[in-house]
Structure 1
Amino acid sequence: MGTLPVIVTHEWQMAALLGYLLGSIPFGLLLTKLFKAGDLRSIGSGNIGTTNVLRTGRKDLAAATLLLDGGKGAVAVLLAGYWFAPDAAIIAGMMAVIGHNFPMWLKFEGGKGVATTLGVLLAMSWPAGLVTAATWLLVALALRYSSLAALVSFAASPFYMYFLGDENKAVLAVLLAALGIVRHHANIKRLLAGEEPKIGQKK
């Protein structure tokens, strides 16, 4: 019994490392370089995520980035849950989003974690994740603002997770929502000023 806290701590550390390393893979940047779609860091917002990949004009690469960025978050959660204690999956999910937002390979200048957050939520509780993704899609289709869709879905996700998942997972959703909203601070300013570009519009 005396060694249990050490084992749990070790599992959390391993889950955190796993989540960060998976999350820090910059799929958007890798895909645009591989298919010669331009230097993603010098296009639009300079972000490595799906919305900025879309600004290259390559919808196929944007779709692939969305799936891969979401997939790495989901895989981090599922692997940590399989290899370690169930609560380690929560740690891995949080660190996957942090890895995407602050990848050491890119001097800690990454994306905003929208797709990766959705992937994490889907893996933690697919009903809550699915409703969160549907919220993002509905807002994006109706208003054509990716950032606003992200903000609305982030804000709603803790409630979805609380009612469709459980309290511990809802805490993760709160932390991810807070991180996502902070990462969108510049977008919030542009939205309020009426200067935020719509989906597909060059920044």
Structure 2
Amino acid sequence: MDLKLTILFIGFVFGNFVTAFFVSKLYTDKKPTEFGSKNAGTANVGAVLGKKAGFLVSLGDVLKTVIAIVLTWYLFPEIPQPLITLYAGIGLVVAHNFPFWQNFKGGKGVAVTGIVAILYNWQVAIPVLLVALIIMIITKNLTIPPLFAITAITIIAFIINHDFEAFILMAILSALMYNRFWLDIQDIIHGRAKEVDVLKSVKQKYQKK
């Protein structure tokens, strides 16, 4: 098997460990696709089952992404790490978003894609993600920031590195995210988008303490 396909496959194997399903099992008999927004991700699990459950989902998604990518770095040193990161990242995101063992109903891959982007090019990703966080606070919207981030990282990284293969791989990651947010994009267009006041939530949390 081609080395790059092997890397993609390793990412796919790790990606199928969709943490939200396991965390939900600890708290309830329901799957995350059966409550709230029906998304197997941090936001939905956290909103319905509590912040601790949401944190565990996020932590699990981050760990599986880091482990898969670092493992492939060591297994395939002959391939540039940025490309390894993106090939493994695509496998991770595809499996996370469409896990075969859950009838292809998974999460939106925001945390996974964010970690992939940081490991691919942290000099570009971290500043862009910080801007995305500011956008989220200002717009009180959870759809625009991740779409902005993945698009900006894709374009800026290509302008800096001129790596066409990496650009195509990042474009695939972008397409995967746009696909999972398509209904949310439609909600924004038709004025049905929900607002999430992050600062208000943080203030309330500290006021309770």
Please indicate, yes or no, whether the TM-score normalized by the shorter chain is above 0.5: yes
State the identity %: 25
Q: What per-residue deviation string (whole Å, max 9, x for no partner) do you get for residues 6-29 of structure 1?
A: 6xx1x2232122100111111112
Partner of 2:59: 67
Following TM superposition, by how much is the alpha carbon of 1:95 offset from its aligned partner in structure 2, in angstroms? 0.8
Offset of 1:37 from its aligned partner?
8.5
1:130 pairs with 2:122:
no
* Contact preservation (8 Å) 2:62, 2:112: yes
SS of equivalent residue, structure 2 residue 143: helix
Return closer, same or farther for 1:166/1:25 CA change in 2, 3 Å cut-off: farther
Work out the CA distance in 2 between the residues paired with 1:64 and 1:134.
22
Map of 1:182 onto structure 2:
179
Deviations 1:17-57 (A, max 9, x none): 21001111111121122133854222222110112112215
Q: What is the CA–CA distance in structure 2 between the aligned matches of 1:77 and 1:160, rounded to whole Å?
A: 22
Change (3 A) 1:29 1:135: farther
**Contact 2:85 2:116 (8 Å CA) reproduced:** no
Question: For the Cα contact (< 8 Å) 2:42–2:55, is it kept in 1?
Answer: yes
Alpha-carbon distance change, 52 to 151 in structure 1, aligned in 2, over 3 angstroms = same
Q: Comparing 154-163 with 112-121, which one deviates more in the overlay?
A: 154-163
Deviation at 1:105, TM superposition (A): 1.4
5+ residue gaps, structure 2, are 199-209
Unaligned runs of 5+ in 1: 1-5
My pick for the range that moved more, 127-136 or 99-108, is 127-136
Whether the aligned pair in 2 keeps the contact of 1:112 and 1:184 (CA below 8 Å) is yes
RMSD of aligned alpha carbons: 2.3
Work out the number of aligned pairs and report it. Answer: 193
- Choose 52-61 or 162-171, whichever is displaced more: 162-171
Shift of 1:115: 0.9
1:195 is the counterpart of 2:192: yes
More displaced 10-residue stretch of structure 1: 62-71 or 75-84: 62-71
In 2, Cα distance between equivalents of 1:199 and 1:164:
34
On the 8 A contact 2:33/2:105 being kept in 1, the answer is no
Query: Which residue in 2 is equivalent to 1:12?
Result: 4
Answering whether residue 36 of structure 2 is matched by residue 40 of structure 1, we say no
Equivalent pair of 1:70/1:120 in contact (CA under 8 Å): no
TM-score with structure 2 setting the length: 0.81
- For residues 37 and 137 of structure 1, do their structure 2 counterparts lie closer, same or farther at Cα, with a shift above 3 Å needed? farther
Name the SS for the 1:123 alignment partner. Answer: helix
The 3 A distance-change label for structure 1 pair 158 and 142 is: same
Instruction: Give how far 1:173 is off.
Output: 2.0
Offset at 1:200?
7.7
Q: 1:90 to 1:171 in 2, by over 3 A?
A: same
Aligned partners of 1:93 and 1:120 also within 8 Å:
yes
Partner Cα distance (1:61, 1:163) in 2: 39
| Structure 2 Cα separation of the partners of residues 131 and 166 of structure 1 | 19
2: distance between equivalents of 1:180 and 1:26? 16
Question: 1:78 maps to what in 2?
Answer: 70
State the TM-score, normalized to the length of structure 1: 0.83
